[in-house]
Structure 1
Amino acid sequence: MNDKLKQIAKYILFMAVGAGLFYLAFRNTEFEKLANDFRKADYTYVILSIIMGYLAFISRGMRWVLLLEPLGKKPNTWNAIHSVTVGYFANMLVPRAGELARCTALYQTDDIPVNRLFGTVILERVIDFLMLLFLVLLTLILEFDLLMELIDTAFSATQGTGDSNTGLYIKIAIGGVIIIGGITLYLLREKFMLHPVYQKVRDFWDGIKEGLKSISQLKSKTPFILHTIFIWLMYYLMVYICVFSLDATKDLSPSSGLLVMIAAGFGMVVPTPGGIGAYHYLVMLGLGVLGVASDDGVSFATLVHTGQLVMTVITGTIAAGFLWRARRRKKLAASN
């Protein structure tokens, strides 16, 4: 199978995963109620969520400029911001396409080699992974029982069947697989170390170590740290502030909002176009363990996701126009 066919097959798989999760989220939804919830929603909070989402884009672009400093590169800040925005726009269409799109866009405006740009994007992934891990640990401290219930619900194959023992059976089965797998890997460790999967895991771990080392070499460490905190604060607030837009969610506490943000974060990690399906399903489950009915959870997830989708489309389109103008100016300058 050639690379093009592999990409097509991968995209079809991502679409299928998104469609399956979309079905799971909306299978019991009364669309008349969903429309009524949208009519009654307080869009002041949705607008604030949209603003916070774009502020995260801006901060991420500014942080990217800081990451490029150790490489001796200084791109135009707004070009970097617009490239990040175009990257998010591309991810809506093709999962994981955004990384290449943003690197290509900045290369075309600022002549920074794509391979060097891509290295900084990999570093960003590592940072995002560590931040998400930190927030999961924080949620474990603040909402341990609820997070465990969310994990149980997400992995349960028997929602609505009434079989209370199946979750236990699944845990036992997973534990058995882990133990047997661990013993097998130990006995066959020399062969496994030559396997491509092991190489990918090792490369990922090496990337984490290299990324942390690169951060220590930053010239502007404090602004970088502040941008990282600000980005994730915006991610949290753009989800939590929307709880006040619906009557069914307005009484959720800030720590409960953190649980919902974790569910939303994992929903966006699942490689479906724009997080569609995965976001709705996991946010619905997250709200479910907080006592919010599934149809209200779907209404909330759809409201937040649609707001961010609209923001990404609008800002991505505008950013593409600015980048086109920047490329045109560069060509005109080169021809003179």
Structure 2
Amino acid sequence: MIFDLKTALKYIILFLIGIGILYLAFRGQDLEKIWHEIKTANYFWVVVSAITVLIAHVLRALRWQMLYQSIHYKVSFWNAYHAVMIGYLANLALPRFGEIGRCSVIHKAEKVPMFASIGTVITERLFDVLMLFLTSLAMLIFQYDIVADFLYQTIYLNLVKKLSTINYLWLVGLGIIILLLIAIAIYFLRQKFSKKFLRIFVSLRQGFGSYSKLKRKGLFLTYTLGIWLFYSLSMYFAFSSIQATSGLHFNAAFTAIVFSGFAMAAPVQGGIGVFHWMVAQSLVLYSISFKDGLAYSTIIHSSQVLLILILGCLSLMLILFKKQSG
């Protein structure tokens, strides 16, 4: 019960942090004008944007299915798709819980060992991190003149300021204590649960090795590129939803997707607040007012959350119905 209370408090605090960031982002802005932009938006382009996000989700399910096939588990596309959508749905309530949640769906639906699934998810996420790194690098190379001032003023100077206040002796001491605690924990776990620990390790290693065993690595990489392309297209199509951003080109969508990628990495439910601030800030680089950037980010974030709520709940109902009928 204490663990449950602590967990609940942690997620409540994270949610409140997200709300706080959202408040700071909108503080001092003309909320009436932002609301007017949202009300008068061209929702045809919002729907088109949502469809491209859905295509990215489908590609993610296909890519994940490939990893299972490489380690000789037959996971159907629909179960992989439903698990992905249920995972996104879970992330809206509990950040990072969705990764475990979708593995649990596959475990129950396809009898795949839980830790083998976790290994495939970690492998998949490593490629997403690699793509975020590569897209960030491309943004720096091809749009350095646009993003350089933001990186220096907002990121570098703030980082230097924070680092100057850190007591490094305390930091080194804390790092040593953490490493010792991890080493002790691993030792006792191996002593007490050696056979179970070994089974978990074997399952995880099987999942980690899923990419190396792929027969069609080119297709896997194509799916990975496709996911990021359709995410970028969703940003680009949504530009046409409001007048202020309708003249932006694809390079602005590319920058926005990089900024949003870092925002979604924050341990906050659905990236609330962080997503809004980061995307709005990215559009400021292209002479869009922060107010209009907030209106745009609110529209695209709300449409994606609505998509997950509808399709995630539908997937959950279908999986539960299938389980009951089976």
* TM-score category of the 2 structures, normalised to the smaller one: 0.7 to 0.9
**1:278 aligned partner, one-letter code:** V
Alignment of 1:23-38 (within 5 A): 23-38=23-38
Give, in angstroms, the shift of residue 222 of structure 1.
Answer: 2.0
The C-alpha deviation readout for 1:303-327, integer Å capped at 9, x for no partner, is 1001111111111111112212321
State the number of aligned residues: 307
Asked if the contact 1:142–1:255 (Cα under 8 Å) also holds between the matched residues in 2, the reply is no
Asked if the contact 1:69–1:219 (Cα under 8 Å) also holds between the matched residues in 2, the reply is no
- In 1: Cα distance, 2:178 partner to 2:75 partner: 43
Q: Is 2:252 the counterpart of 1:224?
A: no
The C-alpha deviation readout for 1:68-90, integer Å capped at 9, x for no partner, is 12321011110110110110011
Describe the shift of the 1:294–1:188 C-alpha distance in structure 2 as closer, same or farther (beyond 3 A).
closer
**2:113 aligned partner, one-letter code:** P
Q: Is 2:169 the counterpart of 1:173?
A: no
Asked if the contact 2:41–2:241 (Cα under 8 Å) also holds between the matched residues in 1, the reply is yes
| Runs (5+) with no aligned partner, structure 1 | 156-166, 201-208, 331-336
Describe the shift of the 1:241–1:105 C-alpha distance in structure 2 as closer, same or farther (beyond 3 A).
same
Asked if the contact 1:83–1:106 (Cα under 8 Å) also holds between the matched residues in 2, the reply is yes
* Identity score, percent: 31
Give, in angstroms, the shift of residue 218 of structure 1.
Answer: 1.0
Asked if the contact 2:22–2:276 (Cα under 8 Å) also holds between the matched residues in 1, the reply is yes
- In 2: Cα distance, 1:255 partner to 1:328 partner: 48
- In 1: Cα distance, 2:9 partner to 2:306 partner: 28
Describe the shift of the 1:215–1:7 C-alpha distance in structure 2 as closer, same or farther (beyond 3 A).
same
**1:173 aligned partner, one-letter code:** K
Describe the shift of the 1:82–1:300 C-alpha distance in structure 2 as closer, same or farther (beyond 3 A).
same
Q: Is 2:87 the counterpart of 1:91?
A: no
Give, in angstroms, the shift of residue 51 of structure 1.
Answer: 0.5
Give, in angstroms, the shift of residue 192 of structure 1.
Answer: 7.5
Q: Which residue of 1 aligns with 2:266?
A: 270
Where 2:245 maps in the other structure, the secondary structure is coil
The C-alpha deviation readout for 1:1-56, integer Å capped at 9, x for no partner, is 95323312321221122012101111123232122112321212111111111111
Q: Which residue of 2 aligns with 1:215?
A: 211
Give, in angstroms, the shift of residue 171 of structure 1.
Answer: 5.3
Where 2:32 maps in the other structure, the secondary structure is helix
Asked if the contact 1:240–1:261 (Cα under 8 Å) also holds between the matched residues in 2, the reply is no
- In 1: Cα distance, 2:285 partner to 2:233 partner: 20
Describe the shift of the 1:291–1:106 C-alpha distance in structure 2 as closer, same or farther (beyond 3 A).
same
- In 2: Cα distance, 1:41 partner to 1:86 partner: 29
Please identify runs of 4+ aligned residues in structure 1 that moved more than 4 A: 152-155, 174-178, 187-193, 209-214
Q: Which residue of 2 aligns with 1:75?
A: 75
Q: Is 2:243 the counterpart of 1:259?
A: no
Q: Is 2:101 the counterpart of 1:101?
A: yes
- In 2: Cα distance, 1:276 partner to 1:171 partner: 23
Describe the shift of the 1:149–1:240 C-alpha distance in structure 2 as closer, same or farther (beyond 3 A).
farther
Q: Which residue of 2 aligns with 1:203?
A: none
TM-score (norm 2): 0.84
Q: Which residue of 2 aligns with 1:55?
A: 55
Where 1:248 maps in the other structure, the secondary structure is helix
- In 2: Cα distance, 1:225 partner to 1:73 partner: 20
| Runs (5+) with no aligned partner, structure 2 | 187-204
Q: Which residue of 1 aligns with 2:189?
A: none
Q: Which residue of 1 aligns with 2:277?
A: 281
Where 1:215 maps in the other structure, the secondary structure is coil
- In 1: Cα distance, 2:36 partner to 2:240 partner: 16
Give, in angstroms, the shift of residue 258 of structure 1.
Answer: 1.1
Describe the shift of the 1:135–1:86 C-alpha distance in structure 2 as closer, same or farther (beyond 3 A).
same
29-38 or 47-56, which deviates more:
29-38
Q: Which residue of 2 aligns with 1:22?
A: 22
What is the RMSD of the two structures over their aligned residues, measured on CA atoms?
A: 2.9
Q: Which residue of 2 aligns with 1:146?
A: 146
Q: Is 2:293 the counterpart of 1:297?
A: yes
